[in-house]
Amino acid sequence: MLCQFTFRNFKSYKEETVLDFQATSGGTFQDSLLCDSFLPVAVIYGPNAGGKSNVLKALNYVYTLVMRPIIVIRNPQSNNLWDVECKPFLFDEYSRNSPSEFELFFRSDEVYEYRYTVSVLDGHILSESLYRKKIGAKGQPAMLFERSGSDVVLGASLRKSSINTGVNDSMPYLSFLAVNYRLEPIDTAIIWFEKCCMKNYANPFSEIRLFLRNDDDFKKKLITLINETGVTIHDFQIQNEGDERVTITFQHKIDDKIYPLDIAQESDGTQKLFNVLPLVMIALSEGKLLVFDELDAKLHPKLLIFLIKLFKNKEINRHNAQLVFTSHDVSSMRSTVFRTDEIWFACKNTDESSDLYSLYELRDEHHNHISPSAAFDKQYLEGRYGADPYFQSMMNWG
């Protein structure tokens, strides 16, 4: 479970930026909170080029940095990583020559909370650390390791294991330990990274990468879920054609007769749904963090709300799965769908740097928090939340 993600000097974000999953007090949907205090969903709105996708890219960069060495060693043929360059903010001389910094607070189990930090410049890791603390315990967290340049200092729990502290400056020490040793604190931390799933559906090529399992029970549940969204299919068949290519045929049943239809002939929305739902099912069943760029693309607003509410339903989301996504679909920005601390906005400043802030942080004209029952979508389109989508200017062009 992701508790908090902080980063600085990454792409359009110059200053320290925080995406926080700790629920604020007194909010709505109390029964949807994970472990009674963490949010199951975060959505980021904002204009084009405002910085929405860069938040997800920052999170994905840390995931890829840690997991790439592990995945490559386990499966050299794997191509299941979304490549992201680590570029600093380029529009001032100090930032462009300074490292990008990242910090993750996460819970890999119900016992420990971890804090992982890493600082990167030009592909070289300048510093890195991993701490953990028992949930609910008093006192300072225990240091597992700290790295500064080529120097690595081990904490007490790792020092006795005769561990090599020499590692290439392009490889995270966390990955090095996971690949070369069986250490409970490290293995537990890596479990969280393994439960992250990053998908970019703004890229049309990514939509053909299907995440389906050769499991009859899983297949039946998937068909049932697809039917519940209003898409009526009786069955589907998948055939491998080599070179990671597959042919997918949907079967439609009309008057007891089966009609096959290639997935390419289905609507774009049906194809997108068929790509998304398996990942949603796996995330909910395994407690994964699911990250989508432009999840709303090609989906009907009601289907988008349907997916969001799966994560907010504790009877369905029993394993603390989380969903983070960007969206332009303002129709789902409602108090019946989101808490104010689940809605985030990304926007550009005059110096071309991006800001990220939640709806909960904003105040109305009386300096009060935005009402949890307010018309979020209407107020957003009026420009009252700062990340103005420019609709007023467009309508005034005439």
Stretch among 40-49, 69-78, 388-397 having the lowest mean pLDDT:
388-397
| Mean pLDDT computed over every residue of the chain | 88
Which CATH architecture does the domain made up of 2-202+288-395 adopt?
Answer: 3-Layer(aba) Sandwich (3.40)
Q: How confident is the model at residue 322 (pLDDT cuts 50, 70, 90)?
A: very high
Segment (H or E) for 261: strand 257-262
> Residues 35-41: what's their mean pLDDT?
95
- State residue 231's pLDDT score: 86
Give residues with Cβ within 8 angstroms of 159, minimum separation 6.
none
pLDDT at residue 260 in the model? 92
pLDDT at 324 over 80: yes
Domain boundary assignment for the chain: 2-202+288-395, 208-273
What percent of the chain is modeled with pLDDT above 70?
A: 90
pLDDT at 382 over 90: no
Cβ atoms within 10 Å of 18's Cβ, excluding its own: 13
3-class secondary structure, 145: strand
- pLDDT score recorded for residue 206: 42
Q: Quick one: tokens of 302?
A: 């009601």
Q: 384 pLDDT band (50/70/90 cuts)?
A: confident
Mean pLDDT for 92-121 is 96
Residue of 163, 256, 200 whose CA lies nearest to 81: 200
Dist CA 120 CA 128 (whole Å) = 9
Q: Is there a contact between 252 and 318 (Cβ–Cβ < 8 Å)?
A: no
| pLDDT tens digit sequence for 1-33 | 999 999 999 999 999 999 999 999 887 899 999
Q: How far apart are CA 356 and CA 59, in angstroms?
A: 14
Task: Give pLDDT, residue 202.
Answer: 46
What are the tokens at 369?
């928090």
| pLDDT tier at 175, thresholds 50, 70, 90 | very high
pLDDT of residue 82: 59
Cβ atoms within 10 Å of 189's Cβ, excluding its own: 25
Give CB contacts under 8 A, 24+ apart, made by 380-389: 380/45, 380/330, 380/333, 381/330, 385/345, 385/359, 386/345, 386/347, 386/357, 386/362, 387/45, 387/46, 387/47, 387/50, 387/345, 387/346, 387/347, 388/47, 388/347, 389/46, 389/47, 389/330
CA 63 to chain centre: 10
pLDDT, one tens digit per residue, over 271-307 is 888 888 989 999 999 999 999 999 998 888 999 999 9
Residue range 137-154: mean pLDDT, rounded: 94
Share of the chain above pLDDT 90, in %: 62
Instruction: Answer yes or no: are the C-beta atoms of 135 and 110 closer than 8 Å.
Output: yes
Amino acid at 258: I
394 — pLDDT class (breaks 50, 70, 90): very low
Distances 195 to 192, 198, 284, 287 between C-alpha atoms, Å: 5, 10, 11, 7
Query: Of the given ranges (74-88, 129-143, 252-266, 376-390), which has the lowest mean pLDDT?
Result: 74-88
Cα separations (Å) of 209 from 81, 206, 227, 281? 11, 5, 22, 16
Q: How many CB atoms lie within 10 A of CB 163?
A: 17
Kindly report the number of other CB atoms within 10 A of residue 182's CB atom.
Answer: 9
Residue 105 and residue 208: Cα distance in Å, rounded? 32
Q: Residue 381 pLDDT more than 70?
A: yes
